[in-house]
Structure 1
Amino acid sequence: MDKPHKQLHAWNISMQLVSEIYQLTQGFPDNERFGLTQQLRRASISIASNIAEGAARTGMNEFRHFISIARGSVSEVDTQMDIAEILGYLTAPQRETVDQTLKRVDKLL
């Protein structure tokens, strides 16, 4: 069954972002497993999930609502990346890779 969200470029790029976040957070300290690691993962998943849910809705207003929620999650990920950088969990090149994908998703939304 082919769902409408799978046709959306924003959803596909957001799935790439989820993968990048999971790879990135594997290197975070163990004591962050239930803190920042989980928050970053949940926020990135929320982006893709809200795009998918919005695409499944029948009305344009509903779709816009879920895209708005996804954009909020983009800001969450950005803030959490700032925190991870401040705490020294990220290198500049790691941050740049994720930032590029995050910016692509944000523009598409």
Structure 2
Amino acid sequence: MEAKREPAKNFQQLVVWQKAHQLVLMVYKVTESFPKHELFALTSQLRRAAVSVPANIAEGFRKRGPRDKLRFFNTAEGSLEETQYYFLLSRDLGYADTESLIEQANEVGRLLEAYGKSIRASLQSSNS
């Protein structure tokens, strides 16, 4: 039987936020080598989308109601999908090998999905 985990006291304790933050750090590192003409295009868009993921997780963490929490986690999921597209584009343009970034993003996606399920379950049990 698995021990029950203590609830996180701040967003930094959330594994999903930690993984999303690590992904952002990797995005910044990878995009440093993108062509300079992409600075205000793909580089900026990719960084913005990636940063939105842990930012929305952090903001959603402080929301009181499960519906508000879900909305922010869903926004994070949308930003993650956008980030995934930019990884594919970067790869197809020959700017970077993004395979490991895609794998990291998939892991964040699985964690976000699990969090969403947990929040929905608590919402359903409180409505019962």
Q: Same fold (TM over 0.5)?
A: yes
Residue equivalent to 2:95:
89
Residue equivalent to 1:108:
111
Deviation at 1:3, TM superposition (A): 5.8
Q: Decide which of 54, 57, 64 is 1:58's aligned counterpart.
A: 64
Percent identical pairs in the alignment equals 37
Deviation at 1:81, TM superposition (A): 1.0
Runs of 4+ off more than 4 Å: none
Measure, in 2, the Cα distance between the counterparts of 1:100 and 1:57. Answer: 29
- TM-score normalised by length of structure 2: 0.79
Is residue 38 of structure 2 the alignment partner of residue 42 of structure 1?
Answer: no
Give the paired residue count. 105
Unaligned runs of 5+ in 1: none
Residue equivalent to 2:4:
none
Measure, in 2, the Cα distance between the counterparts of 1:10 and 1:81. Answer: 20
Is residue 30 of structure 2 the alignment partner of residue 30 of structure 1?
Answer: no
- Aligned-residue Cα RMSD (Å) equals 1.3
Q: Decide which of 75, 78, 84 is 1:78's aligned counterpart.
A: 84
Does 59-68 or 2-11 show the bigger shift? 2-11
Measure, in 2, the Cα distance between the counterparts of 1:86 and 1:106. Answer: 22
Mapping of 1:8-23 within 5 angstroms? 8-23=14-29
| Highest RCO, 1 vs 2 (Cα 8 Å, sep ≥ 6) | 1
User: Which of 1 and 2 has greater Rg?
Assistant: 2
- TM-score normalised by length of structure 1: 0.92
